[in-house]
Amino acid sequence: MHRYRTHTCGELGKENIDQTVKISGWINSVRDHGGILFIDLRDHYGLTQIVIDPSQPFYKGVEHWRVESTVCFIGKVVSRIPEAVNSKLATGEIEVVAEEMELLGEAAVIPFQVAKDEECNETLRLEYRFLDLRRQSLHNNIILRSKVISRMRELMTGLGFMEIQTPILTNSSPEGARDYLVPSRVHPGKFYALPQAPQQFKQLLMTSGFDRYFQIAPCFRDEDARADRSPGEFYQLDMEMAFATQDDVFEVNEEVLYKLFTEFSDKQVDKPPFLRLPFLEAMEKYGSDKPDLRNPLIMQDATELFRDCDFKAFAGVVASGGVVKTIAAKGCAGKSRKFFDDMIKFAQSVGAKGLGYLRWIDGEVQSPIAKFLSDETLAQIKELGGVGDGDVMFFIADKLKGANEIGAAVRDELGQRLELIDPDVFKFCWIVDFPMYELDDEGKVEFSHNPFSMPQGGMKDIEEKAPLDILAFQYDIVCNGTELSSGAVRNHNPELMVKAFDIAGYDQSVVEAKFPALHRAFQYGAPPHAGIAPGVDRIVMLLADEPNIREVIAFPMNQRAQDLLMGAPGNVEHNQLRDLHLKLNLPKKAEKEETVEAE
RNA sequence: GGGGGUGUAGCUCAAUUGGUUAGAGCGCCAGCCUGUCACGCUGGAGGUUGCGAGUUCGAGUCUCGUCACUCUCGCCA
């Protein structure tokens, strides 16, 4: 007989009756009737009921049948009497009558309940993550994550992709987020950086003749957390394809994502090909480059209708170069005064000066602003929105950028409040045709996304078009308003690369200095190539229907990028610093803490 | 770095307008209980209301500061 078990806690059934078995697990719950004791024994696979008769010598030997202790039982599998069958349990037709017992690991009093589904302070959960991970919902999320990643590998390998590891200790990249740095002992004053993504390595693999690369790649970025962004590190299904076009990348990803989402969720999934939405159209209609297409509301431009109207607040915005955006919402004219007041408050909370609206009720327009608008204008507005009796149109007046941002937020809020968002579907779309360049706050031309993207018109466009009019073969994949990834057809032509950087104000020496590997590699016959890297954590988050990314990561850091279980980041010994040729220069506040800890 | 929210027993929460000794469920401890399955019943312990100041006859409640967590803006090629 095995040292710990002949069966798991999830597999015994009627067919095992009369067998003597050995099972080990955690005490999930104890029901002590004085004359008889029931224990639900739990492991990764399930629950099995153990019955202990008080005549057994170990019955009194155990002082506390404390939950979450690990125990091993030898006993006989017996059939439960019909009235005692538990249909909620896979093993509910049988129970194990204990004959021998061994305590494997006693549990102290636990800080929060494991067996019961009870909300709990997240700091405590992170400090006791090993307990939290025993709990069903988190445990299941990690199982799901494992299955999803395993399936990703199968699907990618099946499509002819090879998984290749790339370095974790690499060089700092000049673009993008702040890097995590690792000081070099051998080279005083020099640093490795953890990769923000294996971007340059995968492009080098393409120039090395590997046709299709993928990797479940760890990425490290020193940026602040969000609900859908874990600080420090995250994983991408990183991929790159040689001699490939944008359509080739779309085809692969549509197949992989469609299969993953249909296999691991019961929700209805968009069938490929997914909708392709040009960036400009997305901004016009949704005010966002990651629209939630479950929400049917769209924004329209009503700027011209307000240009010469008597409503000075709007006319003034238009006169100064701003826009008026409108969202038509069907059937909500009957909503309460509070609904509209709340919407105005909400709009103000996201930076709007106000939120105008027109309501059509019983053939009449009701609105604080209607009196400023002529009948003709009102008719034109009505036609623009395609609205009638019972409908409402909301209006946002601001500079274009502000109006889009506020409009996007109002659209989301209306979608939720009016319950327009179907929770049981996954809506995918590609955002395509991103501009290659944009203006930064100081009015300087800079790359709007990836500097390695291929401009759509090639050398001709780069030389002839105004920088802001140049589009890139740059794309995002969006699902239910979550950006899963950016990708691009890469610029594999070193001359074109130098030109593209030149427009953003970097001369050739900068390209050579900052991206020496790619610049050199592309001199020796680079294949045209393209790729993308969908976020693994976000995919699992959507599949698990979790609003928070930490619920799909086994050991996440908190918002301040601390691992509360391991105590990272932590102090190191002075000799470690000395080996690395480092001296600390701490801000005043941290210096105090350092002194206290040293004492 | 900025803004919002939260902070009361080990955990989840309650406590009227500022007013008696800050309560409940779960957990914990003791006892009872032979068919439960979130077992049940009886009793008990457990509190610097995050921390510090202020207003007041009186503060869990109001004000200011501070700390922590969280959501968010900045940031995320």
**A204-240, pLDDT tens digit by residue?**
999 999 999 999 999 999 999 999 999 999 999 999 9
A123 CA to B69 C1' in angstroms comes to 7
pLDDT for A598: 38
Closest nt to residue A87, judged CA to C1': B37
A112 CA to B18 C1' in angstroms comes to 35
> Is the per-residue pLDDT at A62 higher than 80?
no
A118 CA to B60 C1' in angstroms comes to 25
User: For residue A479, what is the enclosing H or E element?
Assistant: strand A474-479
The fraction of chain A above a pLDDT of 70, given in percent, is 98
Q: What is the pLDDT of residues A292-308, one digit of tens each?
A: 999 999 999 999 999 98
Closest nt to residue A53, judged CA to C1': B34
A117 CA to B46 C1' in angstroms comes to 24
A125 CA to B48 C1' in angstroms comes to 25
pLDDT for A282: 95
Q: How many CB atoms lie within 10 A of CB A336?
A: 8
A591 CA to B53 C1' in angstroms comes to 26
Nearest amino-acid residue to B12, taking CA and C1': A119
A52 CA to B41 C1' in angstroms comes to 21
Closest nt to residue A200, judged CA to C1': B77
Q: Specify the amino acid at residue A504.
A: A
A69 CA to B44 C1' in angstroms comes to 25
Cα–Cα nearest to A241, from A12, A507, A533: A533
Residues 6+ away with beta carbon under 8 Å from A301:
A284, A323, A324, A325, A326
In the CATH scheme, what architecture does the domain A14-105 have? Answer: Beta Barrel (2.40)
CA dist list (Å): A163 to A217, A218, A235, A237: 10, 13, 14, 10
Q: What is the pLDDT of residues A111-126, one digit of tens each?
A: 999 998 788 889 999 9
Cα–Cα nearest to A238, from A181, A195, A178, A291: A195
Closest nt to residue A533, judged CA to C1': B77
A398 CA to B75 C1' in angstroms comes to 24
Closest nt to residue A65, judged CA to C1': B28
pLDDT for A210: 97
> Is the per-residue pLDDT at A593 higher than 60?
no
pLDDT for A348: 83
Token pair listed for A516: 């020496």
Cα–Cα nearest to A428, from A262, A557, A246: A262
A238 beta partners = A215
Q: How many CB atoms lie within 10 A of CB A166?
A: 19
Q: Fold match between A14-105 and A295-421?
A: no
Closest nt to residue A92, judged CA to C1': B37
Residue A78 and residue A97 in contact, taking contact as beta carbons nearer than 8 Å: yes
Nearest amino-acid residue to B34, taking CA and C1': A35
Distance (Å, whole) CA A139 – CA A110: 18
Residue A459 and residue A499 in contact, taking contact as beta carbons nearer than 8 Å: yes
SS (H, E, C) A186-227: CCCCCEEECCCCCHHHHHHHHHCCCCEEEEEEEEEECCCCEC
Average pLDDT, rounded, for chain A: 92
A245 CA to B9 C1' in angstroms comes to 63
What confidence category does residue A596 fall into, taking pLDDT thresholds of 50, 70 and 90? Answer: very low
**DSSP reduced 3-state for A418:** coil
pLDDT for A167: 97
Whether the ω angle into residue A368 lies within 30 degrees of 0, i.e. cis, is no
Distance (Å, whole) CA A25 – CA A10: 11
- Top-ranked range on mean pLDDT: pick from A171-185, A251-265, A409-423, A429-443: A251-265
pLDDT for A117: 79
> Is the per-residue pLDDT at A589 higher than 80?
no
> Is the per-residue pLDDT at A592 higher than 90?
no
- Of A399 and A428, the one with more pLDDT: A428
Closest nt to residue A83, judged CA to C1': B35
Name the CATH superfamily, with its identifier, for domain A122-268+529-599: Bira Bifunctional Protein; Domain 2 (3.30.930.10)
pLDDT for A408: 93
Cα–Cα nearest to A15, from A81, A94, A86: A94
Nearest amino-acid residue to B68, taking CA and C1': A123
What confidence category does residue A590 fall into, taking pLDDT thresholds of 50, 70 and 90? Answer: low
Closest nt to residue A36, judged CA to C1': B34
Token pair listed for A423: 């929770």
A117 CA to B29 C1' in angstroms comes to 24
DSSP annotation of A12: -
Q: Which bases of chain B are contacted by protein, using any atom under 7 A from a CB? A: 1, 10-13, 25-30, 32-40, 68-77
Residue A355 and residue A347 in contact, taking contact as beta carbons nearer than 8 Å: yes
Residues 6+ away with beta carbon under 8 Å from A294:
A415, A420, A421, A422, A425, A427, A480, A481
Distance (Å, whole) CA A471 – CA A434: 6
Q: Outline where DSSP puts E strands in A231-345.
A: 232-242, 268-269, 275-278, 299-301, 323-329
Q: Is CATH 3.30.1360.30 the right assignment for the domain spanning A295-421?
A: yes
Distance (Å, whole) CA A367 – CA A375: 13
Domain boundaries, chain A: 14-105, 122-268+529-599, 295-421
Closest nt to residue A441, judged CA to C1': B74
